[in-house]
Amino acid sequence: MALSRRTFSALAGSTALGFALGGSGGPGAPAAYAARTVPTGPAPAAPGADGRRHAIGHDQYSLVVDGRRLVLWSGELHPFRLPSPSLWRDVLEKMRAHGYNAVSIYVAWNVHSPAPGRFDFTGVRDLDLFLRTAAETGLYVILRPGPYINAEVDAGGFPGWLTATQGSARTTDPTYLGHVDAWLTAVNRIVRRHQFTDGGGTVLLYQIENEYDGHVADPIGPAYMSHLYKKVRADGIDVPLFHNDKGRNGFWIPGSFDTGGETGKWLYGFDGYPAPAQTPPDWGHFGVGGLKGGATASPRTPGFVPEFGGGWFDPWGGVEFGGKGYAESRRTRDAAYERRFYLTNLANGITLHNVYMTYGGTNWGWLPAPVVYTSYDYGAAIDEARNVTAKIAPMHQLGHLLQRVPDFAKLERAADVTVDGLRTYHLTNPDTGAHVYVLRNDGAEKVTSTLRTRERDGGDDIEVTVPAHDARLITTGLSLGRRKLRYATAQPMLTLTAGGQDVALFTGPYGEMAHLVLECPAEPFVQRLDAEAAWVYDQGLLHVTVPLGQGGLTRVLVQRGESDTPLLLLFADDATSVRLFPYDTPSGTLLVYGPALLRHAALDGSSVRLTGDTVGPSGVEVWGPRGISALTWNGRPVRTRVSLTGSLVATSDLAGAPKPALPVLDGWRRRAENPESATAFDDSSWKAADRRTSFSTTPVPDGQPVLFADDYGFHYGDVWYRGRLDGDLEDLESVALAYSSGTQGMLMAWLDGKPLGSHRMPVPDAKTVRQGSWAATAEFRVPRPKRKRDEDEREREKEARREHVLSVLVRRMQHDMDGRSLDTHKVARGLTAVTFEGAAPKVSWRIQGETAPDPVRGPQNNGGLFGERQGWHLPGFADSRWEPVTLPRSDKGMGVTWYRTGFRTTVPDGVDASVGLVLEDDPARAYRVQIFLNGWNLGQYINDVGPQHTFVLPNGILRTRGSNTLALAVLSDGTSEFGPGAVRLELLGSAAGGVPVAQVASPGR
């Protein structure tokens, strides 16, 4: 029923009604290159491998696909950081359901190339499978194969073997280009089968290089970019190409290098990672303009941000987030951050928007660059354990808005509007007349103020409240199907047609009073379907107010009046909005409300078949074409009734997810290793370290051999050195071991089997957090023998042998990246020089690192520990003769000790349980642990550095219904007692549903 005006005023608060006249010209006049040949209209249908030809073009507003405007709302996901191909589908389906229409991926050269000219795209490296899965999910793909990717991975994505090759990387050096061409040939052979242009898949855009600014001012840079462009085109890639400027520099805009005469298929993009404490920058319509203005550097192409911060990485020691890890990244770059910064981008004309990261994943094995530890959670909207976090709400709302409301694909700056206390942006669509206002609060206090809209036919005074460090999107003049929105204080999320009625959804913070005004020249029939709503019709306007979220979803049905088509108005707070999922089928569009996730929807006659996830008990409601009468959820029938709006409503809740019990980790067995430290150890099969020259950027010391590990083919993990010292060491006073490593490298040394000591690189502080290479010299005093007791023994030893053995273990961590094109990935790793004080023995060196790359797990899995070379990390290894022990442990000494146990998990069928391994101990104890699950190297724990204590065990590698083998390789530097301490499994998330998970191949030996 209608409310009295007095009742309405009480519900609506102090919102003022009225208009202020205004124009759409002024400083926001259309750009000189404005193209009006592509009108505003529905976005293209979701993409797929349909076998049809498609056209990809653009103007200054947006991409244009098959004649329709496309706003790209993309999220970054790296398949190599989730080494369980079944789970790729899980994350992709979560992205699609939550509003993304594209996924951006790096293809890491180092993951796929264990040796020059060898490329592996099988198993967890199956790029073809990932691209097929993305197409099946209905997501466009932005492909980024480098050759350099940065990405906080080892050597910036360059393969380990490239660090020891001739030629300068990221230049026109012919040796380097030869390797690059071989890589691109291998990648493009796969990619060209998946291009959207010929319907083979959904690859829409292709990036060459990454944040390349090292040779912009000299001829090398343009020639290098031209080579890559022409190579990619010669390989049959015909989708638009682009590059991502590291900042707002105007580097590599169209026309800045030779493209072989091709025009119109190169896009300029720029990256941005503003911190939460910064004021959101204007990189487009409202900015400084010109080459330094972001999108204005290329006025004929749409605004494109290939990387915009969806979080930030954390270094060893956790200095970025005060030791609190990625939880703090997620807290400081939260949903409010996203609204404030992403809406500013939208106001500035950014219509190609990629969030880096949307799912961060895991730097398993020796994949991470020196600047990061194992977790690459990034504080992303989907966490490392694949849980959707509260940060998803703005992504979900904006993503569906940009796909379902076409006005946002073609916005121009309109007349400036001032709102007290708020930064205000005003845009308009020249085709539809819709107006968009972004109101941003950069202050520390909530602001309530009045927006006076400016439109040709009048205006309104709209009272708005914007919380501190947040933003609001206000729209006027939008078409809600066959009716027109005057204004709404809540943000539109979607409009669609289902079951012969128009549906419009509006969202906002919980408890906020949403006020919507609908133009209704003739009085409509209005039904308040939920008690929270209130409405009044007055002078051709329908006013609706709803306190958001207090009853979950609030429904108001508007019928008759000037239109025979009903309009269903839906109102949701943020938490409710993420449980509303639109889904297009060949038979019509569905809107599903209730579950935690909708994966798929299909219409089979009058039956609706849904698949998805629940976390807790959940209702389900479905709007769809007329005539639907039956519903299944994950293959099971659901009893329903038909609502007044024609929806199917479940009469009972869907079941939530159980929380599976996890086993206690016991039955441990222990074995010490490092036999390499013993004098009698047989190292005859090791490589002789006798080279005299190197392609490394680290100088070779005069008179010494090359000791750099990469020069001998050892690129990942630990490396052992054994030096045979020929000569009298009677007067030897000290040994100085110079070494170079990535962040948190360490060294341990023995002379004739007796410990000399250890050294470790310092924990990064705020000044050194991005330092990728660390060099130090560890000097060890050589103990002098007790003369009286040992005089005769020493004489006998002298007669027996004059040879001594210096054994050194170096945990060199990873290679630096090459962000400035200075070959910094070639800085040496391992020992760099060895000198002696008091004696001058002749030294012959041998070196041993990782064995041949694991054919299943890849080159980043294994290092050079004795246990790794012997297979102690593998599930099939026989450890029955190892010492039985219990944890926690308190051992003493320097070296390497292994612990193994088995456990069995019994997660119920149909439950997606994410499991983590937790390690905890007294932070004063100095040791580190390499974690192996079923032979997979899942990361490194440093007890006294942190901040990471929980390690995600990906399903597929973890057998959730079967037996597992856990092995821990513990390195102790001898400065304190060492563990392991407490080691346990922890449930990180549980959902009923999920995707079928195939076991990742895991051979025993």
DSSP annotation of 88: H
Residue in the structure block whose two tokens are 């899995």:
861
Nearest to 757 by CA among 706, 704, 806, 814: 806
User: How does pLDDT run across 425-449, given as a tens digit for each residue?
Assistant: 999 999 999 999 999 999 999 999 9
User: How does pLDDT run across 115-139, given as a tens digit for each residue?
Assistant: 999 999 999 999 999 999 999 999 9
Do strands 734-741 and 774-781 pair parallel, antiparallel, or not at all (unpaired)? Answer: antiparallel
* Residue 803, pLDDT score: 82
Backbone φ/ψ region at 871: left (φ over 0), alpha (ψ -120 to 50), beta: left
* Residue 785, pLDDT score: 64
User: How does pLDDT run across 718-774, given as a tens digit for each residue?
Assistant: 999 999 999 889 999 999 999 999 999 999 999 999 999 999 999 999 999 999 999
Assign 540 to helix, strand or coil: coil
> To which H or E segment does residue 168 belong?
none
Lowest pLDDT segment from 10-24, 675-689, 810-824, 832-846:
10-24
* Residue 800, pLDDT score: 47
* Residue 18, pLDDT score: 28
% pLDDT > 90, the chain: 92
Q: Quote the pTM value.
A: 0.95
* Residue 569, pLDDT score: 98
> What is the rounded CA–CA span in Å between residue 716 and residue 969?
16
Nearest to 618 by CA among 651, 649, 582, 655: 655
Determine if the peptide bond prior to 855 is cis (ω within 30°).
no
Phi, psi of 536 (to 5 degrees): -150, 145
Assign 330 to helix, strand or coil: helix
User: How does pLDDT run across 980-994, given as a tens digit for each residue?
Assistant: 999 999 999 999 999
> What is the rounded CA–CA span in Å between residue 216 and residue 209?
13
* Residue 187, pLDDT score: 98
> What is the rounded CA–CA span in Å between residue 650 and residue 216?
61
> What is the rounded CA–CA span in Å between residue 627 and residue 648?
10
Q: Sorting pLDDT into bands at 50, 70 and 90, what band is 302?
A: very high
> What is the rounded CA–CA span in Å between residue 42 and residue 648?
27
DSSP annotation of 283: -
Backbone φ/ψ region at 546: left (φ over 0), alpha (ψ -120 to 50), beta: beta
* Residue 798, pLDDT score: 57
> What is the rounded CA–CA span in Å between residue 673 and residue 873?
13
Determine if the peptide bond prior to 764 is cis (ω within 30°).
no
CA dist list (Å): 423 to 145, 436, 442:
39, 14, 8
Average pLDDT across the chain, whole number: 94
Query: How many Cβ atoms from other residues are within 10 Å of residue 220's Cβ?
Result: 17
- 680 Cβ contact list (under 8 Å, min separation 6): none
* Residue 797, pLDDT score: 56
Q: What is the mean pLDDT of residues 216-232?
A: 97
Beta bridge pairs of residue 648: 622, 642
* Residue 5, pLDDT score: 31
Interhelix angle 127-137/174-191, rounded to 10 degrees, is 40
Query: How many Cβ atoms from other residues are within 10 Å of residue 193's Cβ?
Result: 16
> What is the rounded CA–CA span in Å between residue 826 and residue 815?
8
> What is the rounded CA–CA span in Å between residue 267 and residue 278?
28
* Residue 728, pLDDT score: 86
> What is the rounded CA–CA span in Å between residue 776 and residue 746?
10
> To which H or E segment does residue 312 belong?
none
Six token digits for residue 5: 């005006």
Q: Sorting pLDDT into bands at 50, 70 and 90, what band is 37?
A: confident
Assign 20 to helix, strand or coil: strand
Determine if the peptide bond prior to 746 is cis (ω within 30°).
no
Query: How many Cβ atoms from other residues are within 10 Å of residue 287's Cβ?
Result: 17
Angle at 947 between CA 941 and CA 953, to 5 degrees: 50
**Is residue 38 a contact partner of residue 59, using CB atoms and an 8 Å limit?**
yes
Assign 321 to helix, strand or coil: helix
* Residue 700, pLDDT score: 98
Six token digits for residue 987: 């449930």
Query: How many Cβ atoms from other residues are within 10 Å of residue 13's Cβ?
Result: 12
* Residue 457, pLDDT score: 60
> What is the rounded CA–CA span in Å between residue 594 and residue 578?
9
Six token digits for residue 215: 């040779």
DSSP annotation of 712: G
> What is the rounded CA–CA span in Å between residue 353 and residue 573?
24
User: How does pLDDT run across 780-793, given as a tens digit for each residue?
Assistant: 999 876 544 466 66
User: How does pLDDT run across 369-383, given as a tens digit for each residue?
Assistant: 999 999 999 999 999
Six token digits for residue 696: 């490394």
> What is the rounded CA–CA span in Å between residue 349 and residue 243?
18
> What is the rounded CA–CA span in Å between residue 466 and residue 446?
6
> What is the rounded CA–CA span in Å between residue 884 and residue 880?
9
* Residue 899, pLDDT score: 98
More confident residue, 1002 or 605: 605
- 904 Cα distance to chain centroid: 31
* Residue 454, pLDDT score: 75
Q: Sorting pLDDT into bands at 50, 70 and 90, what band is 459?
A: confident
**Is residue 542 a contact partner of residue 526, using CB atoms and an 8 Å limit?**
yes
> To which H or E segment does residue 225 belong?
helix 220-234
Phi, psi of 790 (to 5 degrees): -105, 0
Q: Does 802 score more than 80 pLDDT? A: no
Six token digits for residue 335: 């949903």
- 985 Cβ contact list (under 8 Å, min separation 6): 662, 663, 665, 903, 905, 915, 916, 917, 918, 953
> What is the rounded CA–CA span in Å between residue 731 and residue 803?
15
- 243 Cα distance to chain centroid: 19
DSSP annotation of 865: -
User: How does pLDDT run across 666-691, given as a tens digit for each residue?
Assistant: 999 999 999 999 999 999 999 999 99
Lowest pLDDT segment from 1-10, 561-570, 630-639:
1-10
> What is the rounded CA–CA span in Å between residue 177 and residue 165?
12
* Residue 727, pLDDT score: 86
> To which H or E segment does residue 884 belong?
strand 883-885
- 433 Cα distance to chain centroid: 37
Six token digits for residue 644: 């007044």
Q: Does 28 score more than 90 pLDDT? A: no
> To which H or E segment does residue 725 belong?
strand 718-726
Six token digits for residue 296: 């204005």
Residue type, 148: Y
User: How does pLDDT run across 43-80, given as a tens digit for each residue?
Assistant: 999 999 999 999 999 999 999 999 999 999 999 999 99
Nearest to 430 by CA among 23, 66, 24: 24
**Is residue 297 a contact partner of residue 270, using CB atoms and an 8 Å limit?**
yes
Q: What is the mean pLDDT of residues 582-600?
A: 97
Six token digits for residue 629: 């009468």
> To which H or E segment does residue 75 belong?
strand 72-77
Q: Does 460 score more than 70 pLDDT? A: yes
Determine if the peptide bond prior to 637 is cis (ω within 30°).
no
Q: Does 241 score more than 90 pLDDT? A: yes
